Amino acid sequence: MLRMYIKKRSGEQKRIGYLKYKKIDYESLLDELIRIFSIKPSLLDEIESLMLYNEKVCILIDRKTVREILTPSAKAIHEIRRNSVFDNKSYNLLEKILDGRLDLKSIKRSIGRNAFHSKMIFLEKPAIYSGNTEIISARDSYEVLCYNVYIIENKTPEKMYVVRLFSSYAGIRFSYDSLGRILVMYDRKYFLRKISTAFFDEIMDHRLSLFHNIAQRFCPDILSELTKIEFRKLAYLSFFSSLKMTRIMPFLLDDKVQEFYQDAPSTKIYLDHEKYGRCVSNIALSSRELDAFLSHVKIDTGSYISFSSPSLKTDYRTTLFRVRVSIDSPPLTVNGIAIDVRKYGKKPLTLVDIVNKKTLTADAAAFLLTATIFRSNILICGEPGSGKTTLLNALDMLLPRTLRKVYIEDVVESVDQLSEGKHQLRLKVGTLEEIHENLSGKVLEIIKMLHRKPDYLILGELQNEEHVKAAFHAMNAGLRCIQTTHAYSLEQLIYRYVDIFSIPSRLLLSLDLIIFMKRDFYRGDKREVVSIFERHNHVADVNPLSFFKPIFIRRFNGLLERVSSYENSSLIEKISIENRISKNELILFIKKIESMIKQQQVAGIEALLNKLLFLKCKYEN
């Protein structure tokens, strides 16, 4: 194996992969280099010199040899490779070249070009290039489809998130981009009408089905060296390249990436990792790559962005990833396109998962789930990215299947439960970025719910004054609602609603529970429930801050503790009165749910509820 490094005319030194070559026969080595670089000869255009080395030998190929032998020879054979995809005569010629049945003079006569010159390779044993980019001392590493990810310690709190292709073999590193271009050429020639209106998943299925035949004709020599797994990875890599999305895909595919950002073209992507918190990657997308991603988002989601409306927010779902995309562009942004992509896990976090991550305790989880099961009006608050929607979805997935749940969301973040036989109507309304369109707004849909009889109304995020007023209108009209909003503390929430949004303070009493969450940014970016407040049953003070009392508080030691007994809980009393269930039975119900969460056996919660309601009916009769 020989490692290959190039030195560009700019002086930059870069490792480009390794060559599978054991014997050092300089004449046959030149032929091997021509074969490999014929897959992607454009790499040779800016090369000042090429170096190959291993533990035993070091070979330097100078600029003259690169320009007079490698470049014209590789380009000539590349043209034969490309034509072989569309033409049998070229394919037969390529087979002869790769089998060694044609020498250089015969190839010259066949293609009619003066591409090959006899010249010796200049050999030296120079010092090793300083451009070594091998990964060393990684704290963690794992595979993401056709990529390898390395987590590297940094001198700053941010760790390095380094992405590499799944293989360093030059044949793979050179071929995926060329194959991506040929897939596009093939579609333009034979499937233009089909591809021009296709979505991401349709293009993926189509091009992956074509890949084997095209790759077998373009680079059969490379395919013969690959395992089935490597072939599959190369197919995906070539497909991503055909969409100009090769370098953004690892972030879209990695389930451990919770959200990633790029503030301007050619600046490095940084991200929030579920295990390592804030990380900085080695990838900086160019304007062209950002434009390509934006184009796919617009085509696949039907969203748009323009000079007069320079922001876009939408959910983007394919078989490979599910994300919420926010894009800002000039003239709003000063330095070019900026992206913020929040990931939805392929498998949403359950309440047990959230407890295991110590976001909240089993005791608090059981209390919240009980409040949700009995359709309490709940507001989940916190800064952006603190886990509000994750907690809401975890509670929602454990609600009884008999409930008719209606969702009103501008970006679909809820979990589809129709396949489980649950009653679920999900409505998608226009985002704030789309308010100029004639789309149904959240406010209008909330008001319309008064005539649609939802058992539980799940409003998603309350973003502005109109959303908040509509939500309080619904709750005070008798609808049961659960929603999220941005607020860091009870004081901030109440002052914002009362003083800024002019919500009458007495309307706050329609809320049964207020939950506050936060991101512990400097401790691995953990998400935590920091406090849970319930409404007082008897309010004498006019100060709205006195309307609510804490029932759970996270102490300085980091533990979330219950600070009020369930016997004195106003919410337990309210549920008891509304449902005619004794407080003791409700408290026992909470304790049983807590035990089930600790044992990770939440599947029986609905049966437990049915048993509780059956006993209630039995006593009444």
Q: Quick one: 496 and 566 in the same domain?
A: yes
Residue 53 is predicted with a pLDDT of 81
In sequence order, what are the beta bridge partners of 52? 4, 59
Domain final residue pick, 344, 360, 375? 344
CB neighbours of 453 closer than 8 A, spacing ≥ 6? 404
The domain boundary, picked from 310, 344, 378, lies at 344
Residue matched to tokens 């990770």: 600
* Distance (Å, whole) CA 167 – CA 191: 31
Predicted pLDDT of residue 46: 82
Angle, CA of 218, 50 and 173, to the nearest 5°: 35
My answer on whether 146 and 273 are in the same domain is yes
Domain final residue pick, 344, 359, 388: 344
- Domain count of the fold of the chain: 3
131 domain residue, yes or no? no
Structure tokens that stand for 237 in this block:
């890599």
Burial annotation 381-417 (CB, 10 A radius, 16+ → b, else e): bbeebbbbbbbbbbbbbbbbeebebbbbbbbbbbbeb
**Do 331 and 464 share a structural domain?**
no
Domain-embedded: residue 289: yes
Q: What is the DSSP letter of 259?
A: E
Does residue 166 share a domain with residue 61? no
Same structural domain for residues 102 and 223?
A: no
- Per the structure, the complete domain to which residue 524 belongs is given by 351-620
Residue 122 domain flag:
no
Q: Does 479 reside within a domain?
A: yes
pLDDT of 118 reads 39
The answer to whether residues 283 and 374 belong to one domain is no
pLDDT of res. 102: 54
Q: Are residues 196 and 103 in the same domain?
A: no
Tell me, yes or no, whether 117 lies in a domain.
no
What is the chain's length? 621
Indicate whether this model's pTM tops 0.85. no
Q: How far lies 561's CA from each of 532, 552, 556, in Å?
A: 10, 5, 11
CATH number at residue 150: 3.30.450.380
Q: 280 in a domain, yes or no?
A: yes
Whether the CB-CB separation of 461 and 412 falls below 8 Å is answered with no
**Domain shared by 284 and 369, yes or no:** no
Domain identity same for 187 and 95: no
Same domain, 329 and 376: no
Q: Examine the domain organization and report whether 443 and 536 are in the same domain.
A: yes
* 322 and 214 within one domain: yes
Q: What pLDDT score does 24 carry? A: 60
Q: Which residues contact 271 (CB under 8 A, 6 or more apart)?
A: 161, 251, 257, 258, 259, 260, 261, 278, 279, 281
In a domain, 127, yes or no: no
In sequence order, which residues have a C-beta less than 8 Å from that of residue 443 and are 6 or more positions away? 466, 467, 469, 470
* pLDDT tens column, 532-550: 999 987 776 778 888 999 9
Given a cut of 70, the residues of the chain with pLDDT beneath it are: 21-27, 101-136, 432-440, 540, 614-621
> What CATH number has the domain bearing residue 454?
3.40.50.300
Q: Give a yes or no: residue 126 inside a domain.
A: no
